[in-house]
Structure 1
Amino acid sequence: MQDNLKPMFAEIQAELDVAIVGSGPAGLSAAARAQQLGCKYVLFESENHASDTIYKYQKGKHVMAEPGFLPLRSGMSFEAGKRESILGTWDSQLLNQKINIQYKKTVSKIIKLNDGAGPFELTCEDGSTTTARTVILGIGLQGNIRKIGTAGDDLPNVQYTLADPDEFNNETIIVIGAGDAAIENALALMKNNKVVLINRKDEFARCKEGNLNQILAADRNEDLRIFYNTSTSAVEEIPEAKEGEPSLNYRYKGPEGEQAMPVHRIIARLGATPPRGLVESFGVTFPNSDPNAVPALSETYESNVPGLFIVGALGGYPLIKQAMNQGHEVVDSIMGLPVVPADEPLLAEKFKPLGDVSVSAVLDMILENVPLFNQMTRLQLREFMLESTLHQPKKGSVIFHKGDYTSTFFAIVQGGVGIELVNKEGKPFILNLDKGNYFGEMGLISGRRRTATVYAGENCVLIETPRKAMLKLIASVDAVRRTIDETFVRRALSTHLAPQLEPQEIEQLIASGISVTRYVRGEKLFSEGDKTDGLHLIRRGSVSVSKLIDDQDSVLSYVSAGSYVGEIDLVNGTDRQTTCTATVLTEVLLIQADAVIDVLSKNSNWKKALQTKIGKRVHDAIFRESTAKRESDLIHFLMKQGLGDATNALIIDENLCVHCDNCERACAETHDGIPRLDRDAGPTFQNIHLAHSCRHCEQPHCMKDCPPDAIRRNEKGEVMIADTCIGCGNCAKNCPYNAIELRVKPPPRKTGLLSWLLFGSGGPLGERPVKYDANSIKKAYKCDLCHGKDGGPACVRACPTGAAFRISPEVYLNQQNELI
């Protein structure tokens, strides 16, 4: 068959058509295809066995065949199954297909002979050499494992792989990571050990769907705990630990601050970085200095070095099925055969709204028109677009409304959009964004309502990306994360925080360097008397600003996401005059003090605007100091109870409440006899009572651990539980405010007297028509703000004295400040 093909670089004499380096899934598939086509080839493997990456998987690991919608294209078979079965099948196929694989051959040098004209010469560590017209690199990332990066990360019993989970019994084990390897290790180890899984984020954004479902389902098991928003501070040895006892002290920073835990073992599964030095020595270039960057490749997987191709994890595609498809396709491309990528039909279907345009042309247009996506390789873009949706909305149609609770991300490929905003005089205006821009990042990151209404412009083409896919991209491509951080600062300053600034002044602030820091509830951004470090922009969460008055820390104000703190000291040139404390998990971007001071000295309008704002704050603070104790104690109480999490909290004024319980009864009558609040439960301070009822948090704790994805926030803000609830109890366990109960859904009542009196429903008061089995499957129930019912929440409508009200913490605290 080889005689009928026209290989690339046919005029160059070489021993081989193709040299394949690395026998992972991509390399094996490439070798199988080369064998099938009758090519002259060799497959080099540095170990004494094939597919070292999968060989090092934990014993008994279930290997998934994802993405499920992608067909497999390879001469090697692959389907989901146990590690041992997959390796056994491949070993058999290597023998049966007579694959030319050479073991214990580590390629250390690749150069092009004849002054770069070719062919390639490959040199192995044992001194042997071979020449080939083309080279396929499928060496993976296993040799460049990321470490924890703190003190003690190389102590005994701190490890970065797991071969056999059955090796460990009756231990307390920390597993660090949020990817598939960490999840699979945790699931396997929990059978015989106590396991704590550490996730730096507040959800699992990078794992396969199957693993996500398994870990969320297992979270209710007493042998597994998941710590979210948690990072490692240090690992210490426990002196003179006895045999069988914990030998390590794991220090970590979580939502409750700095803590420590004695453990037997720490297993960190933090991924790996490309073997950059080795690959660069082959002549391959990387697009930037980001350690996680992958080489820029063509759609045929060719690098900047003509004839040198890269497939698999090194090219940014770690999934086995994807890698195997690449290995098959790259050999076809080298041998001059027509290649249609396996994902081509799927992308063609997504791009149908644009008419009769090829997939390649659409990808070209996206890369050319949207600079943000230039940070991705073309192959990464293909995968990204499989998870996104292409829209071509009519001119004037609404993309989303101000106040909506949606969290998708939009990029403008063609045309533009109009964003409805209000200027500093309170007058509405339209900010136009053209192609190449993007919007929706605030809802994506902060979880807050949309801050503006967006309309489609002429010939508008948009890419809408789900939150999880966008977070995966941000976590994977550091340049994308930095760009979005800078855009947040740019837009926050130019639209509402500092509209007096000129564009070049905003760019000066950004160029000074922006650091992003997460603070857990109760952690201080800065303290009274500290040196002023800069301007703190709050991207997510909220903070309280307090000051020592008569030796008591008295809260002066509450500041939520989208605003900033720290400007007073910068304008006045003083050390910190107040203390700023996170009231919930808060994410802050810091603009350096020197840059802010420099811009203030040049822009008198901004300085004057800040001085006016500062004057009002100082006046309010002086007026407040004489009566601050009660109000400060109240705000302290509300913040301690987590009101900063809420978007809609039920507050009861005990001075007005007559304890008639109409609120709870009305709730029950409105929801088939199941009340969604507990009037008597909950904390009280002076006359303010926080009843147990859903607060519809900005970042719902209940939502992150729902295996059937039954909890969703609708566009008006209500956090809802769908009928697909399976009663696992994860949401009730994760809710810190006791707002969710597991109950058996009873048959509906006949109409009750209260419903007849309050809502005009007909029918007599009656009992339930039939008995129900209290042992049947329970489901989760919580307040839904009486979604779909006229008049708003029944609990508020039923209160005869006006003691019960639902309100956002920002509005309530602002009202309290105005009353001081």
Structure 2
Amino acid sequence: MTSAFKIAVVGSGPAGLSAAARAAELGVSHVLLEAEQHLSNTIYRYQKGKHVMAEPGVLPLRAAVPFEAGKRETILDAWNEGSTRLKVNVRHGAPVKSIKGERGAFVLEIPGGERVTAETVVLAIGLQGNLRKLGAPGEDLDFVQYQLDDPDAYSREAIVVVGAGDAAIENAIALSAANQVTIINRGAEFNRAKDANEADILKAIETGKIRCYYNCSISEARLTPQGPRLAELALKTAEGTAVIPVDRVIARLGATPPRAFVESCGVQFPSKDPNSVPAVSGVYESNVPGLYIVGALAGFPLIKQAMNQGYEVIETIEGRKIEPADAPLLRAKFAALPGFKGDVDNALASIKERMPLLASLTSLQLREFLLDSNVRVPKKGEAIFKRNDYSDSFYSLLGGGAQIEIDPDDATKRIAIKPGEFFGEMSLISGRRRTHTVLADEACVLIESPRRTTLKLINSVAAVRRVIDETFLLRAIETQLAKGVSPADLKMLAGSATVHSYDANQVVFSEGDPGDGLYLIRSGSVMVSHTVGGREVVLAYVPAGQYIGEMALISDTPRTATVKAAVRTEAIRLDGAVFAKVMERYPQLARRVRKIHRSRIASNVEQNVEPERSGVISFLMKQGLGEATDVLLIDESLCVRCDQCEKACASTHGNLSRLDREAGPTYDNLHVPTSCRHCEHPHCMKDCPPDAIRRSPGGEVYISDACIGCGNCQRNCPYGVIQMGVESKNEPSLWRWMMFGGDEPGHGDSHEKGIKKAAKCDMCKNISGGPACVRACPTGAALRVSPEKFLKVSHGRWES
């Protein structure tokens, strides 16, 4: 039996359904072939109740069926209704076994000997049919599964979840409500997951709700009829072999493209990399004329992107030229480019050609990156950013030039930046203030990219990460340590460098260790301590942008102090022997290092004389000040509990105070109230869908009006300084509160109508005179301090 159609769509995921729906809407002869008995198997198999995002938010949707962020069930119901309304010709239970032919004469074989002929084929099969398995004996036993439909279906079981991505984390957390859950991470971190998911799993592990094995692999999954559980899982760990009794194993290891099937259709792949995707044209056509590939199989995993492609490919097949949905947005951005004549594709090709950093990006990755970026054409001499600014944008120089001002007092000491190069990576990675001023030169044309967008690119494209890391390394060594060193010697130093990551409280090196390396703090911060009379005395706090470990190199003696990470920290280690050789050739470098060496010896002596300072530093570090850039401290010996600080905060911010003076820990007379620390890498910025949390050039982390009240920032903040509320122009009545309770003055009005949005301290950034809480304090007990002033907070007193 043979059926003939103009268009055959294979796979009813977001891309395939959108394509078939558009064909149905246009009245074009079509068939939608789906292996399962339901639409969109990938979404269908999400765990029940899962919230599905509609990203990227800036991209308009093109589709004949609806889609907006919401629960899995709501989305599937809308797609089923839309498919029925449009009379989409869907054939369920029809997996395609083969596709032969080309434009005008395709033959698709399905089970039962039936054949479908079509003039064109849209392949939208996704990746879920090729789930990665454990790769160990027992991977196909009944107690091992590769999908979780409903977490509530299991209770009182010992379950192991294998994986470190979003699906594994979401499954593990959902199952932990009623089961004993262990998660297996084959790596050292959960860095592939969304920030909110990473925070949730780390919190669950820290509190003991979920057990975790890091850096391990599966040796075998086997049944144990005589054991306390149905089965057991054998692991290879850094400490040796471990065996976990289990009732169930759920492996969420992603999927690989169904390469063998796709190649059997005649489609070519650009490389032998098993994760590579087929090469397609700008209108999604493969090397096989008339065979189009859309959706995840073509490297477009986001639902909205896939649906847009499904719509666009039908328009193309019908002979209507249609530009991508993002083209008008990109055209508006590119209008500032000199010589731009409206051709987006030419502009994209030119940018890739001029910027080696972006050359390895796919078309989609480049378009996404540029959608979030802006084109700037500053005038000659204009400051792109200034030294000590807290801005963190990343800049790519498309044309003209720019100058890095090394010495603000000497205009001759500048480093030229040439077209094709980039800058701004130092603050991007460290989260600290800008270390230099950068000035625009003649005909300067820039792409300015937000920190969040750039970090996403770094984490998803290995080639981009490698180039930025190498450049950061060279510039960090040159600007922070080895000014005036020749390019050849800089390269030699960089060649000896290795990058190391440390968790909070992890030792970088210990007192008594050999002094065989110098460490540049790339991000985070460290505490330097010394053992005196059997107790640890904290000597110093060293933030990102500085270096440690030179004392042992200079004196050629063992380490005299222990260095621990105060927060999660990255450091660049330079080989001590190589650095010593470079110092021999550059007397000025040796003098600078010895000068810092002498000042640190003097500081250490002072700390030993005044050991009470050690307790203050240690206390501040435990409160997270190791990643803070500005924090509110209160001297309890001066505080009279008038609460003027809280009242001033509330009256300045719509009767919704950002400060809780009573909350927070105290060390002797030093109190850290619950108030924003304006972290160097703000946790609240992570996973903010509307990108509403920003950092001003002055360093203040604030929440813009774009906030949608999702609460992600509140959940991600480890210090509890963000609250959800509705600002009000009406101050709650003091006498009503005293007589009848209800809303306390200074804490908003619960009767005020409106969407609850996130609120946090913004240091009164737009108000002259500085933070209202400090200005309102009648005794001078309240003070906001930066990391540079932390060490000036001594036992029971302030120092200016």
Same fold (TM over 0.5): yes
Q: Displacement of 1:127 after TM fit?
A: 14
Moved more, 264-273 or 231-240: 231-240
Relative to 1, partners in 2 of residues 1:524 and 1:153: Cα closer, same or farther, differing over 3 Å?
Answer: farther
**2:439 aligned with 1:450, yes or no?**
no
Q: Displacement of 1:159 after TM fit?
A: 5.4
Paired with 1:486 and 1:25, the residues of 2 have a C-alpha distance of 39
Moved more, 128-137 or 358-367: 128-137
Paired with 2:729 and 2:79, the residues of 1 have a C-alpha distance of 54
Paired with 1:743 and 1:164, the residues of 2 have a C-alpha distance of 33
Q: SS of the counterpart of 1:353?
A: coil
Moved more, 633-642 or 18-27: 18-27
Q: Displacement of 1:173 after TM fit?
A: 7.3
Contact conserved, 2:405 with 2:411, CA < 8 A, in 1?
no
**2:482 aligned with 1:498, yes or no?**
yes
Q: Displacement of 1:432 after TM fit?
A: 3.3
Aligned to 2:345: 360
Aligned to 1:552: 535
Q: Any stretches of 5+ residues in structure 1 without a counterpart?
A: 1-14, 113-118, 254-260, 752-764
Paired with 2:583 and 2:256, the residues of 1 have a C-alpha distance of 42
**2:640 aligned with 1:660, yes or no?**
yes
Aligned to 2:746: none
Aligned to 1:697: 679
Q: SS of the counterpart of 1:348?
A: helix
Contact conserved, 1:545 with 1:579, CA < 8 A, in 2?
yes
Moved more, 709-718 or 359-368: 709-718
Aligned-partner residue type, residue 631 of structure 2: A
Contact conserved, 2:94 with 2:111, CA < 8 A, in 1?
no
Aligned-partner residue type, residue 344 of structure 2: V
Contact conserved, 1:216 with 1:705, CA < 8 A, in 2?
no
Aligned to 2:770: 792
Q: Displacement of 1:572 after TM fit?
A: 5.9
Aligned match of 1:643 in 609, 615, 625? 625
Aligned match of 1:388 in 351, 373, 381? 373
Q: Displacement of 1:480 after TM fit?
A: 1.4
- Deviations 1:477-504 (CA, angstroms, capped at 9, x unpaired): 1211222222221221222322233223
Q: Displacement of 1:49 after TM fit?
A: 8.3
Paired with 1:779 and 1:55, the residues of 2 have a C-alpha distance of 32
**2:356 aligned with 1:371, yes or no?**
yes
Aligned to 2:422: 438
Relative to 1, partners in 2 of residues 1:161 and 1:807: Cα closer, same or farther, differing over 3 Å?
Answer: same
Relative to 1, partners in 2 of residues 1:445 and 1:294: Cα closer, same or farther, differing over 3 Å?
Answer: farther
Aligned to 2:609: 627
Q: SS of the counterpart of 1:546?
A: strand
Paired with 1:263 and 1:101, the residues of 2 have a C-alpha distance of 34
Q: Displacement of 1:413 after TM fit?
A: 2.0
Contact conserved, 2:648 with 2:776, CA < 8 A, in 1?
no
Contact conserved, 1:444 with 1:467, CA < 8 A, in 2?
yes
Moved more, 459-468 or 580-589: 459-468
Aligned to 2:790: 812
Contact conserved, 1:297 with 1:379, CA < 8 A, in 2?
no
Paired with 2:730 and 2:26, the residues of 1 have a C-alpha distance of 69
Paired with 1:573 and 1:553, the residues of 2 have a C-alpha distance of 24
Contact conserved, 2:400 with 2:445, CA < 8 A, in 1?
yes
Paired with 2:391 and 2:321, the residues of 1 have a C-alpha distance of 43
Q: SS of the counterpart of 1:791?
A: coil
Q: Displacement of 1:358 after TM fit?
A: 0.5
Contact conserved, 1:299 with 1:379, CA < 8 A, in 2?
no
Aligned to 1:164: 150
Paired with 1:608 and 1:152, the residues of 2 have a C-alpha distance of 63
**2:509 aligned with 1:539, yes or no?**
no
Q: Displacement of 1:330 after TM fit?
A: 5.5
Q: SS of the counterpart of 2:597?
A: helix
Aligned to 1:105: 97
TM-score, structure 2 normalization:
0.73
Contact conserved, 1:570 with 1:593, CA < 8 A, in 2?
yes
Q: SS of the counterpart of 1:362?
A: helix
Supply the RMSD in Å over aligned alpha carbons.
Answer: 6.1
Aligned to 1:413: 398
Paired with 1:415 and 1:195, the residues of 2 have a C-alpha distance of 57
Contact conserved, 1:297 with 1:378, CA < 8 A, in 2?
no
Paired with 2:139 and 2:505, the residues of 1 have a C-alpha distance of 28
Paired with 1:591 and 1:124, the residues of 2 have a C-alpha distance of 61
Aligned-partner residue type, residue 375 of structure 1: S
Contact conserved, 1:543 with 1:583, CA < 8 A, in 2?
yes
**2:466 aligned with 1:487, yes or no?**
no
Paired with 1:507 and 1:633, the residues of 2 have a C-alpha distance of 41
TM-score, structure 1 normalization:
0.71
Paired with 2:77 and 2:775, the residues of 1 have a C-alpha distance of 63
Q: Displacement of 1:376 after TM fit?
A: 0.5
Q: Displacement of 1:367 after TM fit?
A: 0.4
- Deviations 1:35-62 (CA, angstroms, capped at 9, x unpaired): 9999999999888988654454446767
Relative to 1, partners in 2 of residues 1:597 and 1:154: Cα closer, same or farther, differing over 3 Å?
Answer: farther
Aligned-partner residue type, residue 385 of structure 1: L
Aligned to 2:126: 140
Paired with 1:443 and 1:532, the residues of 2 have a C-alpha distance of 29
Contact conserved, 1:300 with 1:330, CA < 8 A, in 2?
yes
Aligned to 1:563: 546
Aligned-partner residue type, residue 668 of structure 1: K
Aligned to 2:747: none
Q: Displacement of 1:31 after TM fit?
A: 8.1
Contact conserved, 1:73 with 1:342, CA < 8 A, in 2?
yes
Contact conserved, 2:518 with 2:549, CA < 8 A, in 1?
yes
Alignment length (residue pairs): 760
Q: Displacement of 1:541 after TM fit?
A: 1.3
After superposition, where does 1:696-775 map in structure 2 within 5 Å? Answer: 696-702=678-684, 704=686, 712-720=694-702, 736-737=718-719, 739=721, 773-774=742-743
Moved more, 508-517 or 700-709: 700-709
Moved more, 804-813 or 195-204: 195-204
After superposition, where does 1:214-229 map in structure 2 within 5 Å? Answer: none
